[in-house]
Amino acid sequence: MKMDKLEIICLESEAFFKLLDEVIKRLKPAHSDTADKWISGTEAMRMLRIKSKATLQKMRDEGVIRFSQPEKRIILYDVSSILAYLEDFVYEPFEMPAIKKRKF
């Protein structure tokens, strides 16, 4: 088994952080393009932190979150509608919670 030589590169802190910023800048556009608008039921349940498929179906039936059904057994959920639903239940610090109409 042939062992390759280990090469160590030393950088000054300023140069390291400049390089790191450049890498992040180059990765951000690629990362944002890969985000899906439509996700599976399993991913939707994970985002909503629910474990029951029945709860997900209830939310779909009541029009709480948007979905698409391109085929009979394939149901996809709109990420932006899930995020909007979660934002409806955000409480700001030191704000008295108002009674929400939705129950889940």
Output the pLDDT for position 93.
78
The whole-model pTM stands at 0.58
Q: Using one digit for the tens of pLDDT, what is the confidence trace for 38-49?
A: 999 999 999 999
Mean pLDDT confidence for 56-73: 95
pLDDT, mean over the chain: 85
Secondary structure in 3-state letters for 35-103 = CCCEECHHHHHHHHCCCCHHHHHHHHHCCCCCEEEEECCEEEEEHHHHHHHHHCCCCCCCCCCCCCCCC
71: DSSP letter? E
